[in-house]
Chain A
Amino acid sequence: QVQLVESGGGLVKPGGSLRLSCAASGFTFNDYYMSWIRQAPGKGLEWVSYMSSTGSTIQYADSVKGRFTISRDNAKNSLYLQLNSLRAEDTAVYYCARARRVVAASDYWGQGTLVTVSS
């Protein structure tokens, strides 16, 4: 069955860095766009970034552009998000999700990993 498992979250000080991972299984990873979507405590969903199946197309939300970097390793069926220059407002649960195309729905989501930015 399809599984997406995030890891790497934790407590980090403002200005610090963190690397999130998403391990995928149960499907052909390199057939899918992969994305990161976050949810601040008590708030709604916010798209962060997506990457195409081959990695040729990458987009970021304005709120993270220049600070976050998405990447993937199709040989390892893994998606990553490097978070730099973290701010308090980056505190959120970060979900990875898959989609067939950039305009398609995200049909499977991971359970999420919590990133807390606090001094």
Chain B
Amino acid sequence: QSVLTQPPSVSGAPGQRVTISCTGSSSNIGAGFDVHWYQQFPGTAPKLLIYGNNNRPSGVPDRISGSKSGTSASLAITGLQAEDEADYYCQSYDSSLSGWVFGGGTKLTVL
């Protein structure tokens, strides 16, 4: 059971918009700690996709965005492409654990 809760899977057709939610608690997201998002393809290491709730590293397209409100955060991907099919993880810091927490991951399928 992950400290941060994500839906196990989401799907969308090419060109559509999908969102992935990440729900935490008052000791992590709700405490004001930043949320980060990672993208992972099978057999490869995770790659940073969004940092500090809504910032994109160089090279990440602007059709990918993040937001945070209260004890939750969301990742949005617009103009869905086949290359977006991957696993996505949210991550934050938890003050009661004094450690990092991850969501269980969401598998995005492009129909």
Residues in chain A within 8 A of chain B (CB atoms): 35, 37, 44-47, 50, 59-62, 95, 102-112
- In the complex, which range does the number of interface residues on chain B fall in? 20 to 34
> For B45, what are the chain A residues with a Cβ–Cβ distance below 8 Å?
95, 109-112
Chain B, range 55-111, C-beta contacts under 8 Å to A: 57, 89, 91, 93, 97-105
Bound CA span A103–B2, Å: 18
Do residues B47 and A105 form an inter-chain contact, with CB atoms below 8 A? no
Q: Is the interface of A mostly helix, strand, loop or mixed?
A: strand
> For B33, what are the chain A residues with a Cβ–Cβ distance below 8 Å?
103
Given contacts A59-B98, A103-B93, A105-B36, contact A44 B48 (CB under 8 A): no
B103 nearest CB neighbor, chain A only: A44
Do residues B102 and A105 form an inter-chain contact, with CB atoms below 8 A? no
Bound CA span A45–B105, Å: 8
Do residues B93 and A102 form an inter-chain contact, with CB atoms below 8 A? yes
29 pairs, A vs B, C-beta closer than 8 Å: A35-B100, A44-B104, A44-B105, A45-B40, A45-B89, A45-B91, A45-B105, A46-B102, A47-B100, A50-B100, A59-B99, A61-B97, A61-B99, A62-B97, A95-B45, A104-B34, A105-B48, A105-B51, A105-B91, A106-B38, A106-B46, A106-B91, A107-B48, A107-B51, A108-B48, A109-B45, A110-B45, A111-B45, A112-B45
Bound CA span A102–B40, Å: 22
Of B57, B93, B100, B103, the most chain A CB neighbours within 10 A belong to B100
> For A95, what are the chain B residues with a Cβ–Cβ distance below 8 Å?
45-46
> For B91, what are the chain A residues with a Cβ–Cβ distance below 8 Å?
45, 47, 105-106
Bound CA span A95–B47, Å: 12
B7 at the interface (CB under 8 A from A): no
